[in-house]
Amino acid sequence: MSVQPVILWTDAALFALLAAALLAIAGVRRDPMRRETWRKVLLRPSAAVSLVLLLAYLVVGLADSVHFRRALPDAGDGQIHYAARVESLLDVALAHLRDTQETTYSAPLATHAFVKDTIEREGRAAGRDYPRLAHGGQHLGEPPAGRAGDLSLRIGLGLLAGGALTGLAWLAVRRHLSPEAAGRRSLMAGLASLGVLLAVVGAVAALAQGYHVFGTDKVGQDVLYLTLKSVRTALIIGVLTTLVTLPIAIVLGITAGYHGGWVDDVIQYVYTVISSIPGVLLIAAAVLMMQVVIETHPEWFETAAERADARLLALCVILGMTSWTGLCRLLRGETLKLRELEYVQAARAFGVGSAAILRRHILPNLMHIVLIALVMDFSSLVLAEAVLSYVGIGVDPNTISFGTMINAARMELARDPAVWWSLAAAFVVMFALVLSANLFADAVRDAFDPKAG
Amino acid sequence: MLAYLIRRVAYAVPILIGVNLITFLLFFVVNTPDDIARMQLGVKRVTPEAIESWKRERGYHLPSFYNGDARGAGRLTETIFFQKSVSMFAFEFGSSDDGRNIAREITGRMGPSLAIAIPTFVLGLFVAISFSLLLAFFRHSALDVGGVVLCVMMMSISSLFYIIFGQWLVAKVWQLVPISGFSGGLDAARFLVLPVLIGIVAGLGSSARWYRTLFLEEIHRDYVRTARAKGVSEPVVMFRHVLKNAMIPILTGVVVAIPLLFMGSLLIESFFGIPGLGSYTIEAIQAQDFAVVRAMVFIGSLLYIVGLILTDLSYTVVDPRVRLQ
């Protein structure tokens, strides 16, 4: 079957960034100084645990960033037409979850719907009861029998598979686990978290073949599917925004600090103006205007996915344009200090040009600030996405994200009995992502800037 | 001192002009009033007459910067820039899309916003300082490590979770307070307890961790070591020396937020149905009422600049070595 690859703007940016990150890692491996600092980061067990989790999120996010359109069945005119729907690799992997849609709410692992409905029974009058789900627990037969046994069997199998994979990982790294090795504790912690992760994934995967593990939402969509799709949006916002922030902050910060004089005054004026507008309001104003641009130019976008993607990218740009001021101020201050150091003065006395001084002496000594800001901002951006989408100035309403999930489910706890699973799934998966990002950021900060508490 | 103050206020004017220019660019240049009218009236099936009358109702039919048709000063004043942007300096914000006067609406809504924001700010500061002092007192013990882990976990939870879960647990399951609403006078306390509590809990993690760092920094200073060497007991060292000196960065750091308390809290007010400025802003954003959003941007920046000036003044109050000139 032929497919047509679709490269969305955010996909391209994400993969370009991934390539840059891999290049940077290769660079670190060659440089003993930087390798030592990164070793210090990874020697911390909490950093190892969070790295495992972050990589798992990254895998989900990257799988969801390879997009394509399937070919439609031959219409007989000899040309290949492609479906309007844009799919990703993750969609293919989760096709089972996406296509087993129920009609409305159902609790996690349920066999019957959550709300009563009128049911026609053969030979009897129609009555109101909980209808049987079209997909959840369908393999148990009618009426469903042996659910408890089936559930434990699946969980057991899943745990076994996860355990076996962990065992393989242990065999692969066993020689690094000698009691005197420095990284032993951290490696053990990483391995343990990998074990827990694989066991959970195994159990969930085994259950998901026959049930809706996290239940279904109002229109009967599988909540597990929605949660996994949200990961990409969170990663894009957290990563691409800093990509917009960094060049502005670095160029303006260094220029202001190194040149001084009226250039410094102008740059300070600009960032004071921008930082004096309350963040949410500036973002709201920019997003409202961006919406008008997108609404009035429907001809720019071929598919709905491209339109939603343009909005996501625009949101990243807006968040970046409004949040560079803090980093810019830090870099300006640090450059002011570096400029007066003896070796920079000496370089200038020897007649080294400004560009060379900036490249050789100033920029490398600022990189730790940039790196720390990058990892520290990630978690706050993931949290901000949820709030902005709730306010209505976040991602496109059709883009699946933690914010749109929470927004759609916010009245569900007010129902009686309460529908808790959509909110719980979104909050727990977001919490794990933000917590691991925070722990990793702390380890990075402590290793690169030991003075900051 | 007075001269410094006058200079700072004078410096605030170009910044406010900058803010004004940015909002003007965003709202009237990136999209022309025609685009906005077309979007508000529905993109398809819209007649030029409908757009013209929509613009005339709101005063958007004027030219942007220079009105060649008017006479004298009217060439500059009868423009969108003068009527919509310059007039903000006189606190004239015009009327919102539902025809109400924005300035009057804002003064009326400040009360409920402050009723939530002030208790949240004061109590939140108190709780965070007490908690971080406790952690610093038992530094590097199991309590301290557990407390820091708790702080990081609390920082990692979405503020939406605190609100949605707190409202569900306290108001629906335990039925201790009304789910949402507001009333004037003493009766308001019933409605305010839960939002204030949630506001405190939601902000505790990050501030307590930051204050703990400040306390620890202070503990390692020479004068503290001297005090201990003289035989001063640990509680006296903590309360008389460390607490007092660490309060300087803490208090000067929060001063900038005080004027912004007027703006209220976006999320909490909208979830609890409190008729303050936060819910006003959120409703305006959702209804795409651009006049209100512009007014709130202006007021927000004004309050922030006031906060910056107050911060500088507070340095001279707490630290006599700082001289402003």
Considering B90, B121, B141, which residue would you say is the last residue of a domain? B90
Residue A216: strand, helix, or coil: strand
Q: Specify if B99 maps to a domain.
A: no
Q: Do residue B137 and residue B215 come from a single domain?
A: yes
The pLDDT-based confidence of A452 (bands split at 50, 70, 90) is low
Binary contact (A442, B23; C-beta < 8 A)? no
Q: Do residue B19 and residue B137 come from a single domain?
A: no
**For chain B, what is the largest distance between any 2 Cα atoms, rounded to a whole number of angstroms?**
86
How do residues B128-180 score in pLDDT, each as one tens digit?
A: 999 999 999 998 899 999 999 999 999 999 999 999 999 999 988 888 888 88
Contact criterion met (CB below 8 Å) for A281 and B278:
no
Residue-range definition of the domain harbouring residue B124: 109-318
Considering A176, A208, A240, which residue would you say is the last residue of a domain? A208
Q: Kind of pairing, strands A127-129 and A3-6?
A: unpaired
Mean pLDDT on B264-284? 90
Mean pLDDT on B83-93? 79
Nearest to B19 among A277, A293, A414 (CB): A277
Q: Do residue A120 and residue A174 come from a single domain?
A: yes
Q: Do residue A158 and residue A240 come from a single domain?
A: no
pLDDT at B39 over 80: no
Q: Do residue B247 and residue B279 come from a single domain?
A: yes
Provide the chain B residues 189-248 that lie in CB contact (below 8 A) with chain A.
213, 216-217
Domain count, chain B: 2
CATH code at A273?
A: 1.10.3720.10
Within a 13 Å sphere around the CA of B36, how many CA atoms are in the beta-carbon half?
Answer: 21
Contact criterion met (CB below 8 Å) for A426 and A409:
yes
Residues of chain B in contact with residue A289, where contact means CB-CB under 8 angstroms, are 26-27, 30-31
Provide the chain B residues 61-80 that lie in CB contact (below 8 A) with chain A.
none
Q: Specify if B186 maps to a domain.
A: yes
Residue A137 C-alpha from the chain's centroid: 31
Considering B60, B90, B120, which residue would you say is the last residue of a domain? B90
Alpha helices in A43-178 (DSSP H): 45-63, 89-93, 95-99, 147-173
Nearest to B31 among A276, A293, A435 (CB): A293
Residues of chain B in contact with residue A393, where contact means CB-CB under 8 angstroms, are 285
Binary contact (B36, A285; C-beta < 8 A)? no
Q: Is B293 on the interface with A (CB under 8 A)?
A: yes
Q: Specify if A80 maps to a domain.
A: yes
Q: Is this structure's pTM higher than 0.95?
A: no
Residues of chain B in contact with residue A273, where contact means CB-CB under 8 angstroms, are 15, 18-19, 22
Q: Specify if B264 maps to a domain.
A: yes
Q: Do residue B128 and residue B261 come from a single domain?
A: yes
Q: Do residue B156 and residue B302 come from a single domain?
A: yes
Q: Do residue B150 and residue B64 come from a single domain?
A: no
Q: Do residue A175 and residue A248 come from a single domain?
A: no
pLDDT at A121 over 70: no
pLDDT higher at A198 or B27:
A198
Mean pLDDT on B260-264? 86
pLDDT at B127 over 90: yes
Residues of chain A in contact with residue B249, where contact means CB-CB under 8 angstroms, are none
Least confident of A225-229, A302-306, B283-287, B304-308: A302-306
Mean pLDDT on A405-429? 88
Instruction: Give the residue carrying structure tokens 């598979």.
Output: A161
Q: Do residue A200 and residue A240 come from a single domain?
A: no
Distance of alpha carbon B230 from alpha carbon B232, whole angstroms: 6
pLDDT at B186 over 80: no
Contacts of A321 (CB under 8 A, 6+ apart): A244, A248, A286
Domain count, chain A: 2
Distance of alpha carbon A279 from alpha carbon A318, whole angstroms: 11
Distance of alpha carbon A253 from alpha carbon A260, whole angstroms: 11
Q: Specify if A249 maps to a domain.
A: yes
In this prediction, does ipTM exceed 0.85? yes
Average pLDDT score, chain B: 86
Q: Do residue A200 and residue A331 come from a single domain?
A: no
Binary contact (A296, B35; C-beta < 8 A)? yes
Q: Specify if A213 maps to a domain.
A: no
Q: Do residue B292 and residue B179 come from a single domain?
A: yes
Q: Do residue A173 and residue A293 come from a single domain?
A: no
Distance from CA of A41 to the nearest CA of B (A): 18
Q: Do residue A135 and residue A244 come from a single domain?
A: no
Query: Which span out of A277-286, A342-351, A426-435, B261-270 was modeled with the highest average pLDDT?
Result: A426-435
Q: Do residue A175 and residue A65 come from a single domain?
A: yes
Return the beta strands (E) in A213-258 as ranges: none
pLDDT at B1 over 80: no
For residue B85, the model assigns a pLDDT of 76
Residues of chain B in contact with residue A278, where contact means CB-CB under 8 angstroms, are 260, 263, 297, 300-301, 304
Q: Specify if B42 maps to a domain.
A: yes
Torsion of CA A312, B163, B251, B188, to 10 degrees: 130
The pLDDT-based confidence of B208 (bands split at 50, 70, 90) is very high
Mean pLDDT on A275-302? 84
Q: Do residue B169 and residue B81 come from a single domain?
A: no
Cβ-Cβ contacts under 8 Å between A and B: the total is 131
The pLDDT-based confidence of A417 (bands split at 50, 70, 90) is confident
Binary contact (A276, B285; C-beta < 8 A)? no
Residues of chain A in contact with residue B281, where contact means CB-CB under 8 angstroms, are 280-281, 284
Average pLDDT score, chain A: 88
For residue B44, the model assigns a pLDDT of 66
Q: Do residue A200 and residue A309 come from a single domain?
A: no
Provide the chain B residues 13-42 that lie in CB contact (below 8 A) with chain A.
14-15, 18-19, 22-23, 26-27, 30-31, 35-36, 38-39
Q: Specify if B323 maps to a domain.
A: no
How do residues A62-77 score in pLDDT, each as one tens digit?
A: 999 999 888 888 777 7
Binary contact (A296, B38; C-beta < 8 A)? yes
Q: Is B168 on the interface with A (CB under 8 A)?
A: yes
Nearest to B213 among A423, A427, A453 (CB): A453
Residue A197 token pair = 């992760």
For residue A196, the model assigns a pLDDT of 92
Distance of alpha carbon A239 from alpha carbon A237, whole angstroms: 6
Residues of chain B in contact with residue A390, where contact means CB-CB under 8 angstroms, are 160, 267
> Of B37, B19, B21, which Cα lies nearest the Cα of B29?
B21
Q: Tell me the torsion sign for CA atoms B276, B278, B281, B284.
A: negative
Q: Do residue B36 and residue B126 come from a single domain?
A: no
Q: Do residue B150 and residue B251 come from a single domain?
A: yes
Nearest to A427 among B155, B158, B213 (CB): B158
Q: Is B57 on the interface with A (CB under 8 A)?
A: no
Residue-range definition of the domain harbouring residue A291: 225-448
Q: Do residue B258 and residue B208 come from a single domain?
A: yes
CATH code at B208?
A: 1.10.3720.10
Residues of chain B in contact with residue A295, where contact means CB-CB under 8 angstroms, are 39, 43
Q: Do residue A148 and residue A234 come from a single domain?
A: no
> Of A281, A297, A289, which Cα lies nearest the Cα of A314?
A289
Q: Do residue A313 and residue A362 come from a single domain?
A: yes
Q: Do residue A237 and residue A198 come from a single domain?
A: no
Q: Do residue B174 and residue B307 come from a single domain?
A: yes
Mean pLDDT on A230-243? 92
The pLDDT-based confidence of A194 (bands split at 50, 70, 90) is very high
